[in-house]
Structure 1
């Protein structure tokens, strides 16, 4: 992933690279996944966790900070107006009562 990102960043103008660094807005990076697609992926992952598991299950998932942020957005039904600074090997624990979670009323 790092090599792929490096190749993409080398093709970006210094001005756009500065804008990306300051804003973390991937729209400045050619062929990067759009915010809308990342959000849809976060919702899909959340839906899978909820629909495929019970309260007795423990799920272990490995993901990068970008998708973790989108999963949190899906859980909170929040627009991405905030940032999450996660380091490699960061650990997050969520407890969700899937019996109380109503996918029908969620904004999916």
Structure 2
């Protein structure tokens, strides 16, 4: 059975992660450790032959850099060993350069729906900095489990709506047999997964940097309302918060 395969990926460690900042939609680059994390994931996906037909990525820098590192490993494939016989020592280029063959281009689309939570006045701050600047608001947040709107931030409904918009778009656009990478952020990832799974609630997921969440869906039956909605052969969770490439 041929299915549409979706691989959701959280970006690698950023400077903001390292400094424990509430990054929101502020721009932070990957740390050296983050680059190593992305390299490890790229090697894993390459070894698994998990080649995407299309990649969707948040346009924020930490996610773009993760996407670029992952894709770099899929831009060239080794030629057969006999290449050394063909060059016969008459070409100046080193063999490691000659033994690469450009692969078909992989389409990449940067989607605003995949951006991290727009967290308003907290963007880029540590919690200690936020408590110093906004002590009353932080006290409210620490004292209640109910949602309290942060000035300048998007609402939960707005975040869930953009997650819904993205999931509907990829389901409408792609077909069984395709493989997609969706490179995004930990907070919005929770809403994306809830939307894909048809949950009327969003659930807390402690996604690790470069963790992968792999879903297989039968696109041809996606709109069915009969008992096939409960047929688990058609809707499969293959991996969930899997980061064993870092261990």
**TM-score per shorter chain, which class?**
0.7 to 0.9
Name the structure 2 match of 1:18: 142
CA distance 1:44–1:33, change in 2 (3 Å): same
2:185 to 64, 67, 73: 64
RMSD in angstroms over aligned alpha carbons?
2.9
Q: Kindly tell me: are residues 81 and 61 of structure 1, through their superposed partners in 2, closer, same or farther at Cα, counting changes over 3 Å? A: closer
| Match in the other structure for 1:37 | 158
SS at match of 1:61: strand
Larger strand share, 1 or 2:
2
TM-score normalised by L of structure 1: 0.74
Shift of 1:32: 1.6
Cα distance between partner residues in 1 of 2:192 and 2:154: 16
The higher radius of gyration belongs to 2
Q: 1:72 to 1:85 in 2, by over 3 A?
A: same
Which ranges in structure 2 are unaligned for 5 or more consecutive residues?
1-21, 27-122, 226-247
